[in-house]
Amino acid sequence: MDKFVIEGGRQLQGAIQVNGAKNAALPMMAASLLLEQGDRLVLRNVPNLVDIRTMGTLLGKLGVRVTRNRDVMTMHVTDDTPVIAPYEIVKKMRASICVLGPLVGRRRAAKVSQPGGCVIGVRPVDLHVRGLADLGVEIAMKRGYLEADASNLKGRTVYLGGAYGPSVTGTQNVLMAAVLAEGTTLIECAACEPEVQALAELLNGMGARIEGIGSPRLTVQGVSHLHGTKAAVIPDRIEAATFMAAAAVTRGNVRINKCRPDHMIAPLESFRMAGIETESGEDWIDVHSTGSFKPVDITTLPYPGFPTDFQAQFMAVMSLGSGISVITEKIYPDRFMHVPELTRMGAKIRKEGTCAIIAGVDQLTGAEVMASDLRASAGLVVAGMAAEGFTEIHRVYHIDRGYQNLERRLCDLGARVSRVSEKKDNTYIREAV
Ligand code: EPU
């Protein structure tokens, strides 16, 4: 296992490029299951991440040969009959559930291990199941697997609203089943995230007929088959926002290139409210930070609201605010694993139900902390960059699931972050600075 050792207090300066979005690339890769034997789907700007490789392995089990050349990934369907997504792979990555919709749509059957809960919450899949059942799919949980028989798949009206809003991967699954269902499907209360839009655009590029992209009402005219195509993965809005946060806490002057500011209205607005200067163009954002922030009251919401995946990183910024900030988590009520770790670094945060009340401090101090999930870890990295002295973040494999070469890229901006292997006998080997 690796850990990060961060020497805080280094000002970030310069330019950085954002990679393709993991959460867009994963369902786009899964969409290859909608193709016929012999067809190919080619995706550009695919980030090189553990989760992407896990999806590649899963697709391999499902008859799709996945190859990679730099940032280009090719999915070649060599056998369009397998339908089983096994537990050994699904347990590693919840997003494996994205294969359910396309298997049902094209192969008319699926047996997908049901993902369990995870550290950020219970994370049920009832909306996925309800949506597919509305399309005439017989679906039931048997011995830990969701088993689906889609011989009667038909376009119908599907309502995808849940207690915490619409579901991102639930919408993607229903959409991928609906594109090959006979007749018209109306998805009401669809998730509007850019990653859902990107999938819908890809599907239309493969010959699907989806209207209303980007809105909560998607209309799908079923077609009899799709064809291979080439497409690019959209930039990662959460990675871009994480760099913004790192620039902010280090009094940095950073240009973030190859991003989509139009996908980041809520994070940009929260920076404006905090008094952090930003400027943006079509595909770039500049952050000019003085290091002093006004307190902010924000609530995570489905897109275009403030993203839950940027909550921990923004909390690290607000830990250094000049007053009391409130962050309310409306997507994952339990997503506060970073709070006790941030308090180890001197942050003053009180969790109150689904809210965190943050009394800004003048300075954080380096400490040993534990990464618990991808975004919590990113929040700790941001805090570590601002803290006085050294911060050690254990279990950074969480970060590797969603950020490619994070330490090297931050070092290119002037940070001091090194990855260190933690050997079983507790002796540490320095790998890179
Ligand atoms: N929910 C239900 N029933 C369902 C599905 C979801 O109640 O059937 C609830 C969830 O428990 C949660 C809310 O609805 O409270 C939203 O969950 P959603 O289904 O939208 O999440 P997801 O599709 O499983 C994706 C991202 C997550 C991101 C969420 C919310 C991917 C692969 N994952 O998950 O990303 O937090 O949307 O935006 O797209 C991450 O990248 O770190 C990450 C966790």
In angstroms, the CA 329 to CA 335 distance is: 7
Query: DSSP class of residue 281?
Result: -
Q: Is the CB of 127 under 6 A from ligand 1?
A: yes
Catalytically annotated residues = 118
Roughly how many angstroms between the first and final C-alpha of the chain, as a whole number? Answer: 17
- Work out the burial of residue 349: count CB atoms within 10 Å of its CB; fewer than 13 is exposed, 13-18 middle, 19 or more buried: buried
Q: How confident is the model over 323-361, as pLDDT tens digits?
A: 999 999 999 999 999 999 999 999 999 999 999 999 999
Q: Where are the beta strands (DSSP E) in 189-276?
A: 209-211, 217-221, 229-232, 253-257
pLDDT attached to residue 118: 72
**191 CA closest ligand 1 atom index:** 20
Q: Is the CB of 306 under 6 A from ligand 1?
A: no
Alpha carbon of residue 16 to chain centroid: 19
Percentage of the chain exceeding pLDDT 70? 97
pLDDT attached to residue 117: 64
C-alpha 165 – ligand 1 centre gap (Å)? 10
Q: How confident is the model over 370-415, as pLDDT tens digits?
A: 999 999 999 999 999 999 999 999 999 999 999 999 999 999 999 9
| pTM tops 0.75 | yes
Instruction: Spell 222-241 as b/e; 16+ CB within 10 A means b.
Output: beeebebbebbbbbbbbbbb
Q: Is the CB of 332 under 6 A from ligand 1?
A: yes
Instruction: Spell 284-309 as b/e; 16+ CB within 10 A means b.
Output: bbbbebeeebebbebbbbbbbbbbbb
Q: Is the CB of 310 under 6 A from ligand 1?
A: no
